[in-house]
Every structure is written in structure tokens, then in C-alpha cells.
Amino acid sequence: MIVAEAFRARGLDMPKACLMTLSVNLRAGFLAIGPYITVLPNSVLRVNRFPLKILPIDLPVQPWPLVVITLKNRTLSPIVQLFIDHLRVFTNSMAAGLRPEKGSASTKVSESAGTPRNKA
């Protein structure tokens, strides 16, 4: 577990869990009224409406599985295919430890026609 590793790296024991929930509102509410600690992603903290103190810690980036599911025997629209192409370029660059460059997808949309064209 990433959080337990972060505590161990600082010579600390992982705090005992006294409440387990996926509810962000419940976790933030308990944090606001008592001596609790939780881990929240930055995306949640940006819309934080509770008076919480943020304790920044460095956690290793973990890969998350990503799957694109399409219906069998269905033709993808050009924009969906473009999205999938961009997603592949982005995830491949993340796997290689690189940051994708702007316009690096194998397929681009023609600004005038709005249709995909191959970048040969």
C-alpha cells in the first residue's frame, strides 16, 4: 500500500483505521471536526469546502489500468478514433516515462475539414 510505504519511509507506523469509507464528504467532515487523517487526491482538494490543513507528501506515481471498450461490429466515429489514438500516445509516453508533446498523436484532425488524416 502506497500510504503505508510513505509512513514507513519516515520511520512512522501506519495509523490505525477507525473509519473506512469511500465517501469524500464523510471523510472531509470527520477531518474538520476531529483528530483524523486521510489521503485525498489533488482533484478533490481543489473543490475543498472544508477548512482542512493540507500536509503535502511525495508519493510514487502508480500505474492505473486503463481500458477502452467498444461495441463489437460497430464503426467508431472519427472523433472517437482520434480520442483513442491520442490516449494510446499519451499512455505509451507515460509508460516510457516521457511527457507527450503537443500534436504527437498518430492521427490529427484537419482543422478545415474536421476529418481525421494520417500523419505519415
Number of domains into which the chain is organized? 2
> Is 36 inside a domain boundary?
yes
User: Which pLDDT score is estimated for 80?
Assistant: 94
> Is 24 inside a domain boundary?
yes
Name the residue with cell 490505525. 16
Residue 40, classed as helix, strand or coil, is coil
User: Which pLDDT score is estimated for 38?
Assistant: 84
> Is 6 inside a domain boundary?
yes
Residue type, 109: V
Mean of pLDDT values over 91-111: 57
pLDDT tens for residues 57-97? 777 777 777 788 999 999 999 999 999 999 889 888 877 77
User: Which pLDDT score is estimated for 107?
Assistant: 36
> Is 37 inside a domain boundary?
yes
Residue 11: give the domain boundaries.
Answer: 2-45
> Is 105 inside a domain boundary?
yes
CB atoms within 10 A of CB 27: 21
Q: What does the chain come to in residues?
A: 120
Mean of pLDDT values over 34-61: 76
> Is 69 inside a domain boundary?
no
> Is 41 inside a domain boundary?
yes
Comparing CA positions, the residue from 59, 48, 1 lying closest to residue 24 is 48
Question: CB–CB of 104/89 below 8 Å?
Answer: yes
